[in-house]
């Protein structure tokens, strides 16, 4: 198998791109995918101060590495969610990576906020991933806005985005469908959010880590088993095997032709006001994290 760019021995085949690459050309290919995503969706300017959400997994590390390679002003924020089986391992990968790459890393420890997820799980009735996700979004937003960052970048890849899109389609969830995309502009007290890896599959980001020498590990969260997205990921992976390129076409076509239709159908414009305790935007007077704090103190 020969590299599509330089005809050297290829180390990775990518049927969905009808291509194969040697290691150096793979890095060029990955760089172009990220540059294209950033340019097409006006994600970043050279003046931006970017806060990367660094979980310690392959996608977040690949993202921070690539944005730094592209010359952006990058710092990381790792939220230690306080789950003994997985959090210390994830935090270790985040810290080692940022030290090696000389990327400034902030750590926010939910335990110190009285919100360790292992404790929260014992008290809440809602699915823990929904509470954990909401809490992480809260802190990424507030940290970005309170510390002079202009945008928060997350490592969502094409598999994350297409499985989420498919889950939303299966429920015909017009509110989520009108909102899904690689860029959420800054509005109503929320920071701008971007997903520069959305054109890359999980396989491709894993390959990027391997070829760039990024040490990533994975300690599965013990609470992740009930998430529905993995089912859709498997279905889409089967489809991609039969029809290479299907995932990116599905997502690109949604962005070009589908999303707009849902945006116009979604007319409920809920009033959003600052939380009475912390000022975070909310439609319920008191935001979800302040409610959680109150509950955990009781």
Binding-site ranges for ligand SF4 (CB under 6 A): 81, 117, 128-129, 132-133, 221, 223-224
List Cα–Cα distances, 283 to 188, 190, 237, 272, 286, in angstroms.
11, 13, 38, 5, 8
Nearest distance, CB of residue 56 and ligand SF4, angstroms: 11
166 vs 161: CA distance, rounded Å? 9
- Residue 49 or residue 293: which is nearer to Zn ion going by CB? 293
Which of Zn ion, ligand SF4, none lies near 223, with the C-beta cut-off 5 to 8 A by kind?
A: ligand SF4
Interatomic CA distance for residues 275 and 258, integer angstroms:
33
Least distance between Zn ion and beta carbon 208 (Å): 15
- Alpha carbon distance 288, 228 (integer Å): 23
Q: What would the two tokens of residue 111 be? A: 């335990």
When CB distances are held under 5 to 8 angstroms depending on the partner's kind, the choice from ligand SF4, Zn ion, none that residue 287 binds is Zn ion
- Residues of this chain that interact with Zn ion (CB under 5 A) are 3, 5-6, 8, 22, 25, 275, 277-278, 280, 287, 290
If contact means CB under 5 to 8 A according to the sort of partner, which of ligand SF4, Zn ion, none does residue 6 touch? Zn ion
Least distance (Å) from Zn ion to the CB of residue 293? 8
CB of 154 to ligand SF4, least distance (A): 13
Binds 103, which of ligand SF4, Zn ion, none (CB < 5 to 8 A, cut-off by type)? none
Q: What SS3 class is residue 46? A: coil
Q: Which of 133, 135, 152 is nearest to 43 (CA)?
A: 152
Q: 258 vs 279, which CB is nearer to Zn ion?
A: 279
Residue 290 interface partner, choices Zn ion, ligand SF4, none, CB cut-off 5-8 Å depending on type: Zn ion
Contact present, 297 and 114 (Cβ < 8 Å):
yes
Question: Is 159:244 a contact under the CB 8 Å cutoff?
Answer: no
Taking the complex as a whole, how short is the minimal distance between the CB of residue 148 and ligand SF4, in angstroms? Answer: 27
Question: Which H helix or E strand runs over 92?
Answer: helix 87-101
């Amino acid at each position: 198998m020969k590299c599509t760019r330089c005809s050297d021995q290829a180390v990775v085949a990518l049927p969905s791109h009808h291509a194969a690459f040697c290691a150096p050309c793979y890095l060029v290919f990955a760089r172009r995918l990220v540059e294209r995503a950033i340019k097409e969706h006006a994600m970043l300017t050279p003046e931006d101060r970017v806060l990367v959400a660094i979980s310690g997994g392959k996608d977040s590390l690949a993202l921070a590495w690539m944005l730094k390679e592209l010359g952006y002003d990058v710092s990381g924020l790792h939220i230690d969610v306080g789950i003994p089986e997985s959090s210390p391992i994830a935090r270790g990968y985040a810290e080692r990576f940022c030290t090696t790459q000389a990327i400034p890393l902030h750590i926010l420890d939910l335990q110190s906020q009285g919100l360790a997820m292992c404790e929260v799980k014992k008290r809440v009735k809602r699915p823990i991933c929904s509470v954990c996700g909401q809490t992480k979004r809260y802190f990424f937003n507030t940290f970005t806005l309170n510390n002079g960052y202009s945008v928060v970048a997350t490592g969502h890849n094409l598999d994350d985005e297409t499985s989420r899109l498919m889950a939303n389609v299966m429920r015909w969830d017009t509110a989520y469908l009108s909102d899904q995309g690689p860029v959420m502009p800054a509005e109503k007290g929320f920071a701008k959010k971007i997903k520069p890896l959305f054109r890359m599959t999980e396989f491709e980001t894993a390959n990027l880590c391997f070829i760039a020498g990024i040490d990533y590990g994975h300690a599965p969260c013990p609470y992740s088993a009930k998430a529905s997205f993995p089912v859709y990921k498997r279905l889409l992976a089967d489809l991609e095997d039969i029809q290479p390129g299907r995932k990116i076409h599905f997502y690109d076509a949604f962005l070009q032709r589908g999303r707009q239709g849902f945006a116009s159908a979604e007319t409920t414009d809920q009033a959003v006001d600052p939380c009475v305790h912390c000022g975070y935007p909310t439609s319920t007077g008191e935001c979800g994290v302040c409610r959680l704090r109150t509950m955990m103190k009781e």
